[in-house]
Structure 1
Amino acid sequence: MRNLALSAMLLGLMSLPAFAADPIAGMWKTQPDDGSYAYVKIGPCGANFCGVIARTFRASGEYKSPNIGKEIVIDMVPEGGGRYHGKVWRPSNDKIYVGKISLKGDQMALSGCILGGLFCKAQDWTRVR
Structure 2
Amino acid sequence: MLKSLLTTALLAAGLAAASPTLSHAADAKGDWVRPNGASKIRISSCGNALCGNLIWLREPRNDTQNPDASKRDRPLLGVRIVQSMKPTSKDKQWKGKVYNAEDGKTYTGFIELTSANKLKLEGCVMGGLICKGETWSRAN
* Shared fold per TM-score greater than 0.5: yes
In the TM superposition, what is the alpha-carbon distance from 1:81 to its structure 2 partner? 1.9
In the TM superposition, what is the alpha-carbon distance from 1:37 to its structure 2 partner? 2.1
In the TM superposition, what is the alpha-carbon distance from 1:73 to its structure 2 partner? 0.4
Structure 1 or 2: larger helix share? 2
Distance 2:128 2:92 in 1: 19
Residue segments in structure 2 that go unaligned for 5+ positions in a row: 1-22, 62-74
The yes-or-no answer on 1:69 pairing with 2:78 is yes
The yes-or-no answer on 1:107 pairing with 2:103 is no
Residue segments in structure 1 that go unaligned for 5+ positions in a row: 1-19, 58-62
In the TM superposition, what is the alpha-carbon distance from 1:86 to its structure 2 partner? 0.6
> Which letter maps to 1:107?
K
Aligned to 2:93: 83
Task: Summarize the alignment of residues 48-67 of structure 1 with structure 2, pairs less than 5 Å apart.
Answer: 48-57=49-58, 63-65=59-61, 66-67=75-76
Structure 1 or 2: larger strand share? 1
Aligned to 1:12: none
Aligned to 1:28: 32
* Secondary structure, counterpart of 2:35 in structure 1: coil
> Which letter maps to 2:133?
A
Aligned to 2:39: 38
TM-score normalised to structure 1 length:
0.72
Larger radius of gyration: 2
Q: Deviations over 1:30-76 (max 9, x none)?
A: 133xxx7210011000000100000011xxxxx32321010010000
* Secondary structure, counterpart of 2:127 in structure 1: helix
Aligned to 1:3: none
